[in-house]
């Protein structure tokens, strides 16, 4: 029991509770249903991608192209809509683009043996380029009402569709990562891919699946974004990959792979959201908010490596 | 008696509830080779870490030249002349030998490369090695890398050199070379601490030998005043029989694996042997004999491109480990750290890794209950010493890690078990246990292919022994015809292939 309290997740939980308590006490409108939903809704697309990013990072890879894929998917939807394609068909098309783009990353990483940092940096530029070519520098709006409604109205009571999706996906991701054979293989490959190879695990296929999944989920998140905002432009979701990776690392996943939990990731999500929301309610500017989140990340990456909280260091260092 | 260069005085060290060292006293004198023996987990590594300043003792202290010192960190220890060389040397592959030797000087602003090069040549000569100082470290053999480490220690005026199982991964010839280096250093007044599981080399090299067990000092004797039997019984705390006696063969006439003219371009060629059920078949040879490559070909990691493999009477061409595993072949590799175990993951996960599909429900979820059962079963059967099966396997001693690796593959219930250097770097008690397991496996009708550089082990285990040299099969010896001398003659090419 003691080790659990001293674990990284334990520290995240305490941090979250402090921020939550502070927000509740200082801001009466914090603990209202509408504010809580709003808090999630504002970054819901990122949160959905965080879930697959956790798999990627635990697998000892990185995917920098997720933000661009979100943009590409949103723009492909806008372009298809403008060219008279049935919106339902356009959604399928976008998800297919996500799968193809993710598989492309996976193919180069798993079968060509290139570093994922390099491959996904290239596709970050490539996907974004495609998105910009599609819509050039105009915005596309006036989507069908039902599409906008998905992003802007309550789906179950006041809870929007995207948040319902997130909750379901979180549960699925948790079961898969921590209780399934697929999740087990994700950890083992991330910890030492040669050991996995020698144990007869199909390492390449596994990586291909994870990258493809990241592409599909990013495309889906891009569509949700288009629906919520009701418009797309070439720079949709620009730079989102950094926020997404930040949350996964804060959640305790090692950038070298093999460690991290979805519980930690979930707590990191709550911390970042509550911190940002609390600061907004206190009228702290966006730039300063970004600065604070940045400091948090530095602390989360460096803290465990310093001598001082030894047990935390032992818990996180590989 | 002279003043000890370094002494431990009643040192105790605990980690949480476990006492790693209790009241440990040890004196190292200039000019002696002081061997330290003990089972894995006896506290040898903790002791080294205290001598090299990585750990600080809880009680008691370290003295250098009779003065109590506080060694805070390995740099402080190095400044006082204490250095260690490990089984797996620390070299930087992209630097040359000179730069590796003077690695701690590369931080300074001004480097006099030619002076460094001359000094490096001197140091290499001082330890009596022949080694080109301009070579890149990436191309060095393990023995040469260790020489570089020793030269590095010498460049920092080493007075106490700790060698932690330096010969565990070396061929017999290289090991002899390294022992010569150790002796030469001692003759120059360095106190050499020599940790090894190979008892025969302790008798060749050491002046004194200390036995430790369960974190306590048991004895320190002159080598001339002890025997292997006495040392072993002190190490394990009980009387033991002869560990390396050959056990009864259980070989049958039933051919399980039949290899003909197997080859892989540029690596090995013309390998041909039959392996019977119930048989323990050994492959002996020096490092670089390409024995592991033959095993990797059979297991499907790097498939052969010439010859045939018949297995259970059928043609087998494994293109990946999963093909070989499906046929019932298990391969326990030699490199636990790089290829064998996911060190930071739990013991339980490692044990079920090769058989994970058996523990999955129809929805693909892991049945942890069944996994725990398996882990507990192997923990008991193989006597894996650990508080529980949920801790990272990297926290176990080498011998226990080896048992976890064996568990992983035995759980597959293979017909053919290939084990590569099964007892490298593990203590004599664990060695005997591993040998028993291999014998038991064969007695139950399995076939075992053992690759080993440890000649006493080859002679103790092998019903037949295939000797390889530089990718060529030199001979297959029956146990009755085999001796250490004969194997070495074949492995070094002094006796020609039949």
pLDDT in tens, B137-171: 888 887 788 888 888 888 888 899 999 888 776 77
Q: First-to-last CA distance in chain A?
A: 21
> Contact, B125 vs B151, CB < 8 A?
no
Using the Cα atoms of residue A276, residue A278, residue A281 and residue A283 in order, give the sign of their dihedral: negative
Chain B contact for A194 (CB, 8 A cutoff): yes
Shortest CA gap B354–chain A (Å): 5
Chain B contact for A157 (CB, 8 A cutoff): no
pLDDT higher than threshold 60 for residue B27: yes
Q: First-to-last CA distance in chain B?
A: 56
Give the per-residue pLDDT at B110.
66
pLDDT higher than threshold 70 for residue B50: yes
pLDDT higher than threshold 70 for residue B174: yes
Give the per-residue pLDDT at B106.
57
Nearest residue of chain B to residue A182 (CA atoms) = B364
d(CA B274, CA B282): 12
Q: Is A32 exposed, middle or buried (0-12, 13-18, 19+ CB in 10 A)?
A: exposed
Give the per-residue pLDDT at B229.
77
Q: pLDDT per residue over B365-381, tens digit each?
A: 999 999 999 999 999 99
d(CA B426, CA A295): 46
Chain A contact for B365 (CB, 8 A cutoff): yes
Nearest residue of chain A to residue B301 (CA atoms) = A198
pLDDT higher than threshold 60 for residue B1: no
Mean per-residue pLDDT, B392-412:
92
Sheet bearing B464-469, strands edge to edge: B314-315, B306-311, B255-264, B268-276, B472-478, B464-469, B280-284, B447-451, B416-420, B329-332
DSSP alpha helix (H) spans, A136-202 = 145-152, 161-179, 181-191, 193-198
Residue with tokens 């970004």: A290
Nearest residue of chain A to residue B343 (CA atoms) = A191
Report the percent of chain B where pLDDT is more than 90. Answer: 51
d(CA B390, CA B200): 37
When the pLDDT of each residue in chain B is averaged and rounded to a whole number, the result is: 88
CATH of domain B6-236: 3.40.50.300
What values do phi and psi take at B257, rounded to 5? -125, 135
Chain A contact for B340 (CB, 8 A cutoff): yes
d(CA B200, CA B205): 9
Q: pLDDT per residue over B288-340, tens digit each?
A: 789 999 999 999 999 999 999 999 999 999 999 999 999 999 999 988 888 99
Residues of chain B with Cβ-Cβ distance to A201 below 8 Å are 322, 353, 356
Contact: B365, A175; criterion CB under 8 Å: yes
d(CA B31, CA B207): 9
pLDDT higher than threshold 70 for residue B244: no
Low-confidence ranges of chain A (pLDDT < 50): 1-5, 307-318
Distances (CA, A) of A186 to A101, A149, A182, B100: 21, 37, 6, 37
| Domain-wise residue ranges, chain A | 33-238
B366 → closest Cβ in A181, A198, A200 = A181
d(CA B460, CA B246): 4
Distances (CA, A) of B438 to B298, B326, B433: 19, 21, 9
Give the per-residue pLDDT at B43.
85
> Contact, A235 vs A86, CB < 8 A?
no
Neighbouring-strand partners of residue B417? B330, B448
Q: Which of B345, B361, B410 is the best residue to mutate to test the A interface, defined by the most A CB atoms within 10 Å of its own CB?
A: B345
Give the per-residue pLDDT at A314.
41
All residues at 6 or more sequence positions from A163 whose CB lies less than 8 Å from its CB, including other chains: A37, A40, A41, A44, A155
Contact: A191, B345; criterion CB under 8 Å: yes
Q: Which of residues 209-228 of B touch A (CB under 8 A)?
A: none
Helix A181-191 and helix A44-58: axis angle, to 10°?
60
Give the per-residue pLDDT at B295.
96
Contact: A200, B345; criterion CB under 8 Å: no
| Domain-wise residue ranges, chain B | 6-236, 255-491
Shortest CA gap B94–chain A (Å): 20
> Contact, B322 vs B396, CB < 8 A?
no
> Contact, B195 vs B164, CB < 8 A?
yes
**Which DSSP string corresponds to A203-239?**
HHHHHHHHHHHHHHHHHHHHHHHHHHHS-B-TTTTTT
Q: Do domains B6-236 and B255-491 have the same CATH topology?
A: yes
Chain B contact for A2 (CB, 8 A cutoff): no
Q: Which of residues 195-234 of A touch B (CB under 8 A)?
A: 195-202
What CATH number matches the domain at B255-491, 3.40.50.720, 3.40.50.620, 3.40.50.300, 3.10.180.10? 3.40.50.300
d(CA A159, CA A134): 33
Give the per-residue pLDDT at A294.
84
Chain B contact for A257 (CB, 8 A cutoff): no
């Amino acid at each position: 029991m003691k080790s659990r309290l001293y674990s990284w997740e334990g520290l995240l939980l305490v941090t979250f509770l402090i921020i939550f308590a502070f927000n509740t006490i200082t801001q009466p409108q914090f603990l209202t249903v509408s504010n809580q939903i709003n808090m999630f809704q504002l970054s819901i697309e990122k949160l959905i991608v965080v879930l697959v990013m956790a798999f990627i990072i635990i697998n000892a890879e990185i995917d920098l192209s997720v933000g661009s894929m979100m943009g590409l998917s949103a723009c492909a939807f806008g372009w298809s809509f403008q060219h008279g394609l049935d919106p339902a068909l356009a959604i399928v098309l976008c998800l297919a683009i996500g799968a193809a783009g993710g598989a492309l990353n996976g193919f180069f990483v798993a079968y060509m043996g290139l570093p994922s940092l390099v491959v996904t940096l290239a596709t970050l530029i490539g996907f974004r380029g495609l998105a910009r070519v599609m819509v050039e520098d105009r915005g596309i709006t006036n989507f069908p009402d039902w599409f906008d409604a998905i992003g802007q109205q309550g789906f179950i009571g006041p809870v929007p569709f995207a948040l319902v999706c997130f909750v379901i996906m979180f549960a699925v991701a948790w079961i898969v990562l921590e209780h399934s054979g697929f999740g087990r293989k994700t950890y083992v490959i991330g910890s030492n891919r040669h050991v996995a190879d020698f144990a007869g695990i199909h390492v390449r296929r596994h990586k291909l699946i994870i990258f493809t999944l990241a592409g599909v989920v990013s495309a889906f998140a891009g569509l949700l974004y288009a629906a919520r905002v009701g418009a797309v432009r070439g720079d949709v979701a620009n730079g989102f990959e950094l926020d997404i990776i930040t949350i996964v690392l804060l959640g305790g996943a090692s950038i070298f792979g093999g460690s991290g939990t979805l519980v930690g990731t979930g707590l990191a999500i709550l911390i970042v959201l509550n911190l940002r929301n609390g600061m907004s309610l206190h009228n702290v500017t966006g730039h300063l908010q970004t600065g604070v989140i940045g400091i948090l990340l530095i602390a989360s990456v460096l803290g465990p490596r310093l001598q001082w909280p030894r047990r935390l260091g032992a818990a996180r260092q590989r | 008696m002279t003043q000890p260069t370094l002494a431990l005085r009643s040192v105790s060290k605990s980690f949480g509830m476990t006492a790693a060292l209790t009241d440990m006293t040890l004196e190292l004198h200039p000019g002696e080779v002081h061997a330290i023996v003990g089972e894995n987990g006896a506290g040898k590594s903790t002791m080294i870490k205290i001598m090299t300043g990585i750990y600080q003792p809880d009680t008691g202290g370290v003295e250098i030249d009779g003065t109590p010192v506080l060694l805070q960190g390995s740099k402080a220890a190095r400044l006082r002349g204490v250095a260690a060389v490990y089984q797996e040397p620390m070299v930087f592959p992209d630097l040359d030998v000179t730069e590796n030797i003077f690695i701690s000087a590369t931080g300074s602003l001004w480097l006099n490369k030619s002076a460094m090069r001359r000094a490096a040549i001197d140091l290499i000569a001082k330890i009596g090695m022949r080694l080109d100082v301009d070579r890149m470290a990436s191309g060095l053999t393990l023995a040469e890398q260790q020489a570089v480490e020793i030269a590095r220690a010498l460049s920092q005026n080493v007075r106490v050199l700790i060698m932690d199982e330096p010969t565990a991964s070396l061929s017999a010839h290289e090991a002899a070379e390294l022992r010569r280096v150790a002796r030469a250093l001692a003759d120059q007044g360095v106190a050499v601490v020599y940790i090894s599981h190979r008892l025969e080399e302790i008798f060749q090299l050491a002046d004194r030998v200390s036995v430790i067990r369960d974190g306590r000092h048991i004895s320190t004797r002159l080598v001339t005043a002890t025997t292997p039997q006495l040392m072993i019984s002190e190490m394990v705390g009980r009387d033991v029989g002869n560990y390396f006696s050959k056990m009864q063969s259980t070989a049958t006439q039933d051919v399980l694996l039949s290899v003909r003219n197997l080859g892989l371009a540029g690596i090995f060629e013309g390998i041909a042997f039959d392996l019977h059920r119930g048989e323990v078949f050994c492959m002996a040879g020096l490092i670089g004999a390409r024995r592991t490559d033959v095993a990797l070909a059979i297991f499907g990691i790097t498939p052969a491109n010439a010859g045939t493999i018949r297995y259970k009477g059928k043609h087998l061409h494994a293109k990946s480990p999963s093909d070989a595993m499906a046929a019932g072949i298990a391969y326990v590799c030699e490199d636990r750290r790089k290829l064998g175990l996911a060190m930071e993951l739990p013991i339980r996960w490692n044990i079920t890794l090769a058989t994970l599909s058996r523990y999955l429900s129809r929805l693909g979820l892991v049945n942890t209950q069944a996994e725990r059962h398996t882990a507990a079963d192997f923990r008991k059967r193989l006597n894996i010493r650990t508080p529980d099966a949920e801790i990272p396997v990297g926290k176990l001693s080498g011998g226990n890690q080896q048992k976890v690796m064996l568990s992983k593959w035995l759980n597959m219930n293979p017909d053919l078990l290939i084990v590569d250097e099964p007892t490298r770097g593990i203590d004599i008690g664990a060695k005997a246990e591993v040998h028993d397991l291999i014998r038991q496996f064969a007695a139950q009708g399995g076939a075992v292919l053992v690759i080993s550089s440890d000649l006493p082990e080859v002679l103790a285990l092998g019903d037949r022994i295939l000797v390889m040299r530089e990718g060529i099969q030199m001979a297959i010896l029956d146990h009755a015809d085999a001796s250490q001398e004969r194997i070495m003659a074949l492995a070094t090419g002094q006796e020609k292939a039949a």
